[in-house]
Structure 1
Amino acid sequence: MASLVALSACSGSTGTPAARPSPITEAQSAAMQPRDTHLAQLYETSCKACHTVRDTGAPLTGDRNAWDPRWAKGEQELTRNAVAGLNGMPPGGQCFACKPEDYAALIRFMAGR
């Protein structure tokens, strides 16, 4: 049930498939985990609910094609967007335990950097 609650926070859902194919599948994205146990816990309880499901509108973890245009904005801008929220992403990505450095590390992981 927690997954359904977390998934509902991903309000960017369009209900339609992604416009271009991704080089990874949702299952591959869902299987990815940060090596750092602290980050893995934060990812598991916040980021994973949206960043492993294509129809949420969030770029899939490890999908560099989806992340590259965002990454071009710079890591600081991505971190600011994560903290403030953007489009369908709620402020802080619903990561209530995240510190600014956690956001940056999680973004690097999800973007494949």
Structure 2
Amino acid sequence: MKDSQFVNYLIGIVGALFAFLILMVILAKFMTAEDAPQDVMVSDAVNARIQAVGAVTVGAPVEVKTAAVSPADSYQASCFACHGTGAAGAPVLGDKAVWKARIAQGKSTLYKHAIVGFKGMPPKGGSSLSDSAMKAVVDYMIVKSK
């Protein structure tokens, strides 16, 4: 078989495949309906099934009012685990000898340590108290340890 004969066969086969492809596309076009009419009840049922489950409403944030918590309650909830037991070297509430040196550093230092954290103590003792609430707890601890 010569090269020219091979090329002629190849062109013939590729041409036949292309013609077959065109024929299939034309047949597929004629065999499918454009938009078959759909029953209204079926349409309503489909729309009900794909309806959104919920809606997002964006508006002004609602301010949640919480009851005021006393510094003693905040101490019990956030500080007692360490300052009530002396865990991790925390000064125990009421131990006047240990607290005397700390109180001598001044309230601003104690506030800073309580809010930012100090040595093994996490910021705000790991609580979500505001800075002013944390300062009130520090004041409570100072009064109880003088």
TM range (shorter): 0.5 to 0.7
CA distance in 2 between partners of 1:80 and 1:55 (Å): 20
Larger Rg computed on CA atoms: 2
Matched, 1:102 2:133: yes
Counterpart CA distance in 2 for 1:108 and 1:37 is 14
Aligned twin of 2:106: 74
Larger relative contact order (C-alpha < 8 A, sep ≥ 6)? Answer: 1
Structure 1 distance, partners of 2:75, 2:87, is 19
TM-score, length-normalised on structure 2? 0.47
TM-score by length of 1: 0.59
Report if aligned partners of 2:115, 2:124 keep a CA contact under 8 Å in 1.
yes
Alpha-carbon distance in structure 1 between the residues aligned to 2:141 and 2:71: 11
Aligned residues: 77
Q: Percent identity?
A: 34
Structure 2 residue aligned with 1:52: 84
Alpha carbons 2:114, 2:123 under 8 Å: kept = yes
Alignment RMSD = 1.9
Q: Which has the higher helix share?
A: 2
Aligned mates of 1:49, 1:108 — CA distance in 2:
18
